[in-house]
Amino acid sequence: MSPPAAHRVHVRDGFHWPAADAYLFDIDGTLLNCRDGVHYQAFHRAMREVLHIEPSLEGLQLHGNTDIGILRAALAREGVTGAGLDCHLPRIVELMCAEVLRNHEHLRPELCPSIRDLLVLLRERGKLLGTASGNLSPIGWLKLEKAGLKSLIAFGAFAWPHESREEIFHSGMTLARQMLSRKASVYVAGDTPADIHAAKAMGLPVIALATGIYSFSDLLACGPDACFACASDLLSLPLPPAQDFLQGECKHRPEKRSISE
Protein backbone atom coordinates (compact mmCIF):
# COMPACT_ATOMS: atom_id res chain seq x y z
CA MET A 1 0.00 0.00 0.00
CA SER A 2 1.33 3.48 -0.88
CA PRO A 3 2.22 5.81 1.98
CA PRO A 4 -0.26 8.63 2.60
CA ALA A 5 -0.05 11.73 0.42
CA ALA A 6 1.58 13.73 3.24
CA HIS A 7 4.55 11.35 2.96
CA ARG A 8 4.70 11.55 -0.81
CA VAL A 9 3.98 15.19 -1.68
CA HIS A 10 5.19 18.47 -0.21
CA VAL A 11 5.01 21.87 -1.90
CA ARG A 12 6.10 24.96 0.00
CA ASP A 13 3.45 27.66 0.33
CA GLY A 14 3.77 30.06 -2.58
CA PHE A 15 5.93 27.74 -4.68
CA HIS A 16 4.57 27.17 -8.17
CA TRP A 17 6.43 24.23 -9.66
CA PRO A 18 5.43 24.86 -13.31
CA ALA A 19 6.54 28.51 -13.21
CA ALA A 20 10.17 28.19 -14.35
CA ASP A 21 11.35 29.03 -17.84
CA ALA A 22 13.96 26.28 -17.67
CA TYR A 23 14.57 23.15 -15.59
CA LEU A 24 17.88 21.50 -14.78
CA PHE A 25 17.48 17.77 -14.14
CA ASP A 26 20.09 15.70 -12.36
CA ILE A 27 20.56 12.32 -14.08
CA ASP A 28 21.32 9.45 -11.66
CA GLY A 29 18.46 8.85 -9.27
CA THR A 30 16.36 11.67 -10.75
CA LEU A 31 15.84 10.76 -14.41
CA LEU A 32 17.11 7.18 -14.28
CA ASN A 33 19.00 4.60 -12.29
CA CYS A 34 21.85 2.56 -13.82
CA ARG A 35 22.57 -0.61 -11.87
CA ASP A 36 24.74 -2.20 -14.56
CA GLY A 37 28.15 -1.27 -13.16
CA VAL A 38 29.50 0.14 -16.45
CA HIS A 39 30.16 3.60 -15.02
CA TYR A 40 31.47 2.15 -11.75
CA GLN A 41 33.92 -0.14 -13.50
CA ALA A 42 35.19 2.74 -15.64
CA PHE A 43 36.52 4.45 -12.51
CA HIS A 44 38.59 1.38 -11.65
CA ARG A 45 39.85 0.78 -15.17
CA ALA A 46 40.96 4.39 -15.68
CA MET A 47 42.74 4.69 -12.34
CA ARG A 48 44.45 1.34 -12.85
CA GLU A 49 45.70 2.23 -16.33
CA VAL A 50 46.96 5.69 -15.47
CA LEU A 51 48.27 5.27 -11.94
CA HIS A 52 48.73 1.49 -11.72
CA ILE A 53 46.79 1.31 -8.49
CA GLU A 54 43.38 -0.12 -7.63
CA PRO A 55 41.66 2.29 -5.27
CA SER A 56 38.36 1.12 -3.86
CA LEU A 57 35.20 3.18 -4.09
CA GLU A 58 33.80 1.34 -1.07
CA GLY A 59 32.47 3.66 1.59
CA LEU A 60 32.80 6.78 -0.52
CA GLN A 61 29.95 9.24 -0.99
CA LEU A 62 28.86 8.37 -4.52
CA HIS A 63 25.27 9.62 -4.64
CA GLY A 64 25.14 13.38 -5.02
CA ASN A 65 28.89 13.53 -5.63
CA THR A 66 30.53 14.33 -8.96
CA ASP A 67 32.80 12.04 -10.96
CA ILE A 68 35.76 14.30 -10.22
CA GLY A 69 34.85 14.44 -6.55
CA ILE A 70 34.70 10.63 -6.43
CA LEU A 71 38.09 10.34 -8.15
CA ARG A 72 39.66 12.81 -5.73
CA ALA A 73 38.20 11.03 -2.69
CA ALA A 74 39.26 7.57 -3.88
CA LEU A 75 42.77 8.65 -4.76
CA ALA A 76 43.23 10.71 -1.59
CA ARG A 77 42.93 7.46 0.37
CA GLU A 78 45.90 6.20 -1.68
CA GLY A 79 47.90 9.35 -0.95
CA VAL A 80 47.45 10.79 -4.47
CA THR A 81 46.38 14.40 -4.02
CA GLY A 82 46.97 17.97 -5.20
CA ALA A 83 49.28 18.58 -8.13
CA GLY A 84 50.23 14.89 -8.12
CA LEU A 85 46.66 14.09 -9.08
CA ASP A 86 45.85 17.15 -11.17
CA CYS A 87 48.44 16.27 -13.80
CA HIS A 88 46.82 12.84 -14.26
CA LEU A 89 43.16 13.88 -14.17
CA PRO A 90 42.80 14.72 -17.89
CA ARG A 91 44.03 11.25 -18.87
CA ILE A 92 41.87 9.51 -16.24
CA VAL A 93 38.80 11.44 -17.44
CA GLU A 94 39.60 10.57 -21.06
CA LEU A 95 39.94 6.88 -20.24
CA MET A 96 36.78 6.79 -18.14
CA CYS A 97 34.75 8.22 -21.00
CA ALA A 98 36.35 5.85 -23.50
CA GLU A 99 35.64 2.88 -21.24
CA VAL A 100 31.94 3.72 -20.87
CA LEU A 101 31.68 4.33 -24.61
CA ARG A 102 33.33 0.95 -25.25
CA ASN A 103 30.79 -0.74 -22.98
CA HIS A 104 27.78 1.40 -23.77
CA GLU A 105 25.79 -1.59 -24.99
CA HIS A 106 25.81 -2.88 -21.43
CA LEU A 107 24.32 0.31 -19.99
CA ARG A 108 20.88 -0.55 -18.59
CA PRO A 109 19.29 2.70 -17.45
CA GLU A 110 15.94 2.27 -15.72
CA LEU A 111 13.68 5.28 -16.07
CA CYS A 112 12.36 6.72 -12.81
CA PRO A 113 8.55 6.49 -12.54
CA SER A 114 6.67 8.89 -14.84
CA ILE A 115 9.80 10.95 -15.47
CA ARG A 116 9.45 10.78 -19.24
CA ASP A 117 5.83 11.95 -18.93
CA LEU A 118 7.02 14.91 -16.85
CA LEU A 119 9.70 15.88 -19.38
CA VAL A 120 7.25 15.59 -22.28
CA LEU A 121 4.69 17.70 -20.43
CA LEU A 122 7.22 20.40 -19.68
CA ARG A 123 8.45 20.41 -23.27
CA GLU A 124 4.89 20.63 -24.57
CA ARG A 125 4.34 23.61 -22.31
CA GLY A 126 7.29 25.44 -23.82
CA LYS A 127 9.91 24.85 -21.14
CA LEU A 128 13.63 24.57 -21.83
CA LEU A 129 15.04 21.36 -20.36
CA GLY A 130 18.67 20.78 -19.48
CA THR A 131 20.63 18.39 -17.39
CA ALA A 132 22.99 19.30 -14.57
CA SER A 133 24.84 16.18 -13.52
CA GLY A 134 27.94 15.05 -11.70
CA ASN A 135 28.60 12.64 -14.58
CA LEU A 136 31.33 13.36 -17.08
CA SER A 137 29.67 14.78 -20.19
CA PRO A 138 30.00 11.84 -22.64
CA ILE A 139 28.90 9.39 -19.93
CA GLY A 140 25.85 11.46 -19.01
CA TRP A 141 24.77 11.82 -22.63
CA LEU A 142 25.23 8.09 -23.24
CA LYS A 143 22.93 7.28 -20.30
CA LEU A 144 20.32 9.75 -21.55
CA GLU A 145 20.54 8.37 -25.08
CA LYS A 146 20.22 4.79 -23.89
CA ALA A 147 17.23 5.77 -21.74
CA GLY A 148 15.51 7.44 -24.70
CA LEU A 149 15.60 10.88 -23.06
CA LYS A 150 18.35 12.60 -25.06
CA SER A 151 15.98 14.18 -27.57
CA LEU A 152 14.07 15.88 -24.75
CA ILE A 153 17.14 17.53 -23.23
CA ALA A 154 18.43 20.65 -24.98
CA PHE A 155 21.72 21.18 -23.15
CA GLY A 156 23.85 19.86 -20.34
CA ALA A 157 26.23 20.93 -17.59
CA PHE A 158 28.51 18.22 -16.28
CA ALA A 159 31.53 17.44 -14.15
CA TRP A 160 34.84 18.38 -15.74
CA PRO A 161 36.12 20.94 -15.85
CA HIS A 162 33.59 21.66 -13.10
CA GLU A 163 34.08 19.72 -9.93
CA SER A 164 31.43 20.77 -7.45
CA ARG A 165 27.68 20.48 -7.83
CA GLU A 166 27.44 24.25 -7.24
CA GLU A 167 29.72 24.90 -10.22
CA ILE A 168 27.68 22.51 -12.36
CA PHE A 169 24.39 24.18 -11.42
CA HIS A 170 25.93 27.59 -12.07
CA SER A 171 27.04 26.42 -15.49
CA GLY A 172 23.59 24.99 -16.22
CA MET A 173 21.89 28.18 -15.10
CA THR A 174 24.23 30.25 -17.28
CA LEU A 175 23.60 28.06 -20.32
CA ALA A 176 19.83 28.27 -19.83
CA ARG A 177 19.93 32.04 -19.58
CA GLN A 178 22.16 32.30 -22.65
CA MET A 179 19.54 30.31 -24.57
CA LEU A 180 16.53 32.21 -23.19
CA SER A 181 17.22 35.52 -21.52
CA ARG A 182 19.29 36.97 -18.73
CA LYS A 183 16.29 36.96 -16.41
CA ALA A 184 15.01 33.49 -17.24
CA SER A 185 13.94 31.56 -14.14
CA VAL A 186 15.66 28.23 -13.63
CA TYR A 187 14.59 25.42 -11.30
CA VAL A 188 16.63 22.35 -10.33
CA ALA A 189 15.28 18.81 -9.94
CA GLY A 190 17.43 16.37 -7.98
CA ASP A 191 17.36 13.30 -5.76
CA THR A 192 19.97 13.98 -3.09
CA PRO A 193 20.62 16.35 -0.20
CA ALA A 194 23.66 17.52 -2.20
CA ASP A 195 21.36 18.67 -5.02
CA ILE A 196 19.17 20.57 -2.58
CA HIS A 197 22.07 22.22 -0.76
CA ALA A 198 23.82 23.19 -4.00
CA ALA A 199 20.66 24.60 -5.56
CA LYS A 200 19.93 26.64 -2.45
CA ALA A 201 23.52 27.90 -2.38
CA MET A 202 23.04 29.10 -5.95
CA GLY A 203 19.67 30.70 -5.18
CA LEU A 204 17.83 28.25 -7.44
CA PRO A 205 14.47 26.79 -6.42
CA VAL A 206 14.70 23.02 -6.12
CA ILE A 207 12.27 20.15 -6.62
CA ALA A 208 13.33 16.95 -4.85
CA LEU A 209 12.35 13.52 -6.17
CA ALA A 210 12.92 10.54 -3.86
CA THR A 211 13.72 8.13 -6.68
CA GLY A 212 17.36 7.58 -5.77
CA ILE A 213 18.67 6.18 -2.49
CA TYR A 214 17.30 8.96 -0.27
CA SER A 215 13.81 8.78 1.19
CA PHE A 216 11.13 11.41 0.94
CA SER A 217 11.70 12.37 4.60
CA ASP A 218 15.51 12.52 4.12
CA LEU A 219 15.03 15.02 1.31
CA LEU A 220 12.24 16.97 2.97
CA ALA A 221 14.51 17.55 5.97
CA CYS A 222 16.87 19.50 3.66
CA GLY A 223 14.20 22.09 2.89
CA PRO A 224 13.51 21.78 -0.84
CA ASP A 225 10.80 24.01 -2.33
CA ALA A 226 8.89 20.89 -3.33
CA CYS A 227 9.40 17.21 -2.60
CA PHE A 228 7.76 14.18 -4.19
CA ALA A 229 8.16 10.46 -3.73
CA CYS A 230 8.39 10.33 -7.53
CA ALA A 231 7.28 12.24 -10.62
CA SER A 232 3.99 10.33 -10.62
CA ASP A 233 3.04 12.18 -7.43
CA LEU A 234 4.01 15.51 -8.96
CA LEU A 235 1.87 14.76 -12.00
CA SER A 236 -1.03 13.74 -9.76
CA LEU A 237 -1.39 17.36 -8.63
CA PRO A 238 -3.99 19.45 -10.45
CA LEU A 239 -2.28 20.99 -13.46
CA PRO A 240 -2.65 24.69 -14.16
CA PRO A 241 -3.99 25.71 -17.58
CA ALA A 242 -1.44 25.60 -20.39
CA GLN A 243 -1.22 29.41 -20.55
CA ASP A 244 -0.09 29.44 -16.92
CA PHE A 245 2.85 27.28 -17.89
CA LEU A 246 3.84 29.78 -20.52
CA GLN A 247 3.14 32.92 -18.55
CA GLY A 248 3.66 31.61 -15.03
CA GLU A 249 5.24 34.07 -12.69
CA CYS A 250 7.45 32.57 -10.02
CA LYS A 251 6.41 34.10 -6.73
CA HIS A 252 9.56 32.91 -5.02
CA ARG A 253 12.71 34.43 -6.39
CA PRO A 254 15.49 33.96 -3.83
CA GLU A 255 18.37 36.35 -4.01
CA LYS A 256 20.93 34.85 -6.36
CA ARG A 257 24.43 34.24 -5.18
CA SER A 258 27.11 33.50 -7.69
CA ILE A 259 30.40 31.70 -7.40
CA SER A 260 33.59 32.46 -9.20
CA GLU A 261 34.17 30.53 -12.41
The residues that touch Mg ion, with contacts defined as CB under 5 A, are 26, 28-29, 191
The answer to whether the peptide bond before residue 161 is cis (omega within 30 degrees of 0) is: yes
Distance CA 166, CA 164 (A): 5
Give Dmax over CA atoms of the chain in angstroms: 58
Q: Are 226 and 17 in contact (CB under 8 A)?
A: yes
Q: Are 55 and 45 in contact (CB under 8 A)?
A: no
The enclosing H or E element of 73 equals: helix 67-76
Nearest approach in angstroms of CB 62 to Mg ion is 10
Nearest approach in angstroms of CB 194 to Mg ion is 8
Closest among 112, 83, 93 to 46, alpha carbons compared: 93
Q: Quick one: 21 or 26, whose CB is closer to Mg ion?
A: 26
Nearest approach in angstroms of CB 134 to Mg ion is 7
Q: Quick one: 138 or 190, whose CB is closer to Mg ion?
A: 190
Q: Quick one: 26 or 166, whose CB is closer to Mg ion?
A: 26
Question: Closest residue (Cβ) to Mg ion?
Answer: 29
Q: Quick one: 19 or 153, whose CB is closer to Mg ion?
A: 153
Distance CA 213, CA 30 (A): 10
Nearest approach in angstroms of CB 248 to Mg ion is 26
Nearest approach in angstroms of CB 69 to Mg ion is 13
Q: Quick one: 19 or 166, whose CB is closer to Mg ion?
A: 166
Q: Quick one: 99 or 191, whose CB is closer to Mg ion?
A: 191
Give, in order, the Cα–Cα distances in Å from 66 to each of 21, 73, 82.
26, 10, 17
The enclosing H or E element of 186 equals: strand 186-190
Nearest approach in angstroms of CB 187 to Mg ion is 16
The enclosing H or E element of 10 equals: strand 9-11
The enclosing H or E element of 207 equals: strand 206-209
Q: Quick one: 95 or 118, whose CB is closer to Mg ion?
A: 118
Nearest approach in angstroms of CB 190 to Mg ion is 6
